[in-house]
Structure 1
Amino acid sequence: MSTPLLEVNDLKKHFPIRGGLLGNTTGYVYAVDGVSFSIEKGETLSLVGESGCGKSTVGRAVLQLFGITDGQVVLDGQRVDTMSPSTFRPLRRRMQVVFQDPFSSLNPRMRVRDILAEPIRNFGLAKDAVDLDDRLARLMDTVRLPRDAIGRWPHEFSGGQRQRIGIARALAAEPDLIVCDEAVSALDVSVKAQIVNLLQDLQKELGLAMLFISHDLAIVEHMTHRVAVMYLGKIVEVADKRSLFSKPMHPYTEALLSAVPVPIPGMARTRKILVGDVPSPINPPKGCRFHTRCPYAFDRCRVDEPELRAPAMHGVAAGHVAACHLHDLPAAENPLLKAA
């Protein structure tokens, strides 16, 4: 069996809360609290969940934009979270990012040429000036922008065009993995579809792996291979796209999917309305973190934290895991199976 391109093992990121005159630590924000997943070469894994669940923090931790509290980040068999900045630098080229906001992620004081040339120069990828120019021209072709636009400033482009420039900047370093952190959420619907199609085409052409962070399940269904669902700093379900969308095994996933607009006019769908607010990541609930909003919660959910494991039942696809005590009940008493 081949080694995954990226492995994340029990990742934790706790941000300290400081207060008082001396700025002493008074508590922690448990933004990410024990997340594990892997991404194969050429695969897209989507990380989904409500705002504030910790999915963007996972992306930044994978990229080593800050230190992690605990756990491991392994790139192609090499653990990177313990590397010094100088040792990690050659590997940084292999992991790039496309940010959410195409307006603030580009330096307004740099022309497109300089924005795209910066990573090429930083990693010493061009042999000479002629090679640099050739690489820049090919990057513009790759993201479907005219070559003569390379001399313009970022403010001269639309939002969708700026995001194409952001994608070209990520591709300039010739990465193996791209983290797309809500890369299409700030765009209009028609432009969003164009960028998603571009990302899919690039993945096929270049063999890229992607960590696609999003809250838009309609987009996720269109472009991903597997989906990991996050809630309050933890992954509660992981499955391939078809299994998760057809047969969710966690009440939170069930509620998220029920809110996705139905593409067929007149088709009915039963909404699963979650009551209450998301608990604070400073003081997460004991037991299952979702039990305060779960319509199916019972006594065990309030005291015992469920493990992420495959439900022991017929018809569950390989690799489909969920953290839910409902799957320890007899099938006739499991409300998730009745709903299905």
Structure 2
Amino acid sequence: MSAPLLQVNDLKKYFPVRGPLFSRKASWVYAVDGVSFEIGRGETLSLVGESGCGKSTVGRAILRLFDITAGQVVLDGQRIDDLSADRLRPIRRRVQVVFQDPFSSLNPRLRVRDILAEPIRNFGLARSSAELDAKVAALMDTVRLPRDVLNRRPHEFSGGQRQRICIARALAAEPDLIVCDEAVSALDVSVKAQIVNLLSDLQREFGLALLFISHDLAIVEHMTHRVAVMYLGKIVEMASRHQIFAAPRHPYTKALLSAVPVPDPAARRKPMILKGDVPSPINPPSGCRFHTRCPFVFDRCRTEVPELRQIVEGQWAACHLDELPEAPAAG
């Protein structure tokens, strides 16, 4: 088996919280607290969970948009989380990003031609002006936009077209991995499908690896290979797409799936309603972080942190229920 393209080992990111005036007590937001996973070449791993669970922080940590608190990020065998700015520069070409809001992530002053040319110039990927122009034109073809709009600015495009420009900009650097941070959540339903199909086509064409960060499980089911489910800074379940959607093991995963709308209005199923609210990441619960909302909670959950361990081949879960003689059946 070939080595993974990306390895994230026990990643932690804590943000300081300013306390009351004259207070000496330090507080922290435990945004990501010990996350580990791998992404293979040409693979899509989807990171899912409720808003505020830390999934976007994981993506930004991989991109080195800030320094991490602890852990390792390894790209193609090379640790990148501790690299200086100069040594990190050539690595940035290999890991690109598509953000949630295509309008705010594009410079409104630049024409599309200049937006796409910028990464090509930055990383020295064209030897002449003619080659640069050819690459820019080819990128427009790749994301299925007409070449005659290259002189327009971002405000002259629809949301879906702007997101195609963002994808083209990411492709311009010829990356190995693209982090898609809620890349379709700001788009209309029909446009979402077009962008997801485009990403799938590009992955097959260029052999791209994708970290697809989303809370939309219907989209995730359509395009991913594996799924990692996050809750309050930790991964609680990780498995293949089929295993997650057909036989989830963690109660939180089951609750997420029960909330996904089904196309058949006559279909009957019992939704799993979670009690209470998501606890504060400043003061997370002891033991299992999900125990304050779990319908199956018992004493051990309140005191002992469950380890993410393999339950069946290819499926990992962090739940004490799986160690009981008769764990609740997947539903």
Report the Cα distance in structure 2 between the residues aligned to 1:124 and 1:22, rounded to whole angstroms. 51
Find out whether 1:285 has 2:308 as its counterpart: no
Partner of 1:114: 114
TM-score calculated relative to the size of structure 2: 0.98
Distance 1:263 1:43 in 2: 28
Match of 2:315 among 316, 320, 328: 320
Please, which runs of 5 or more residues in structure 1 have no aligned partner?
Answer: none
Tell me how far apart the structure 1 counterparts of residues 93 and 134 of structure 2 sit (CA, whole Å).
20
1:6-43 deviations in Å (ceiling 9; x for gaps): 00000000001123557966210000000000000000
CA distance in 2, matches of 1:319, 1:16: 36
Q: Are residues 1:185 and 2:180 paired?
A: no
Aligned residues: 331
- 1:64/1:81 contact within 8 Å kept: yes
Tell me, in whole angstroms, the C-alpha distance in 1 between the residues paired with 2:2 and 2:53.
31
Supply the distance in 2 between the matched residues of 1:106 and 1:92 (Cα, whole angstroms).
Answer: 18
Cα distance, 1:270 vs structure 2: 1.2
Partner of 1:52 in structure 2? 52
Query: Counterparts of 1:8 and 1:245 in 2: how far apart (Å)?
Result: 24
Taking the TM superposition and a 5 Å limit, the aligned residue runs for 1:195-210 are 195-210=195-210
CA spacing shift, 1:67–1:24, aligned 2, 3 Å: farther
Q: Aligned residue for 2:227?
A: 227
Tell me the C-alpha RMSD between the 2 structures: 1.1
Q: Show CA shifts across 1:53-79 (max 9, x none).
A: 000000000000100000000000000
Alignment partner of 1:78 is 2:73? no
- Structure 2 Cα separation of the partners of residues 269 and 64 of structure 1: 43
Distance 2:82 2:37 in 1: 18
Give secondary structure in 2 for the equivalent of 1:305.
Answer: coil
Distance (whole Å) between structure 2 residues aligned to residue 102 and residue 273 of structure 1? 34
Query: Contact 2:47–2:227 at 8 Å: present in 1 too?
Result: yes
SS in structure 2 at match of 1:109: coil
Q: Pick closer, same or farther for the CA change 1:292–1:123 going to 2, 3 Å.
A: same
In structure 2, C-alpha distance between the alignment counterparts of 1:25 and 1:303, rounded to whole Å: 25
Contact 1:113 1:151 in 2 (8 A): yes
CA contact (8 A) 2:33 2:233 kept: yes
Report the counterpart of residue 37 of structure 1 in structure 2. 37
Q: Aligned equivalents of 1:293 and 1:322: distance in 2? A: 17
1:253-289: CA deviations, max 9, x gaps?
0000001111234111210000100000000000000
Gaps of 5+ in 2: none
Normalized against structure 1, the TM-score is what?
0.96
* Rounded Cα–Cα distance in structure 2 between residues aligned with 1:112 and 1:118: 10
SS at match of 1:38: strand
CA–CA separation in structure 2 for the residues paired with 1:187 and 1:202: 19
1:3 and 2:13 correspond: no
Instruction: Choose the corresponding residue for 1:329, options 305, 319, 324.
Output: 324
How far has the Cα of 1:319 moved from its partner?
1.6
Q: Distance in 2 between matches of 1:162 and 1:87?
A: 31
- Show structure 1 runs of 4+ deviating over 3 A: 19-25
Worse overlay, 141-150 or 18-27: 18-27
Letter in 1 for 2:166: G
Q: How far apart in 1 are the matches of 2:153 and 2:23? A: 42
Instruction: Check whether the contact 2:19–2:27 (CA below 8 A) recurs between aligned residues.
Output: no
* Distance (Å, rounded) in 1 between the aligned partners of 2:324 and 2:235: 21
In 2: Cα distance, 1:268 partner to 1:215 partner: 23
Give the superposition deviation at 1:244: 0.6
- Residues 108-154 of structure 1: per-residue CA shift (max 9 Å, x gap): 00000111111000000001000000000000000000001111010
Inter-partner Cα distance in structure 2 for 1:24 and 1:77? 41
Q: 1:287 to 1:142 in 2, by over 3 A?
A: same
Distance (whole Å) between structure 1 residues aligned to residue 21 and residue 271 of structure 2: 49
1:1-340 alignment, distance < 5 Å:
1-20=1-20, 26-311=26-311, 316=312, 318-331=313-326, 334-335=327-328, 337=329, 339-340=330-331
| CA deviations over 1:134-176 (Å, ceiling 9, x no partner) | 0000000000000011110100000000000000000000000
Code of the aligned partner of 2:103: F
C-alpha separation in 2, matches of 1:161 and 1:189: 14
- What CA distance in whole angstroms lies between the structure 2 residues aligned with 1:48 and 1:281? 17
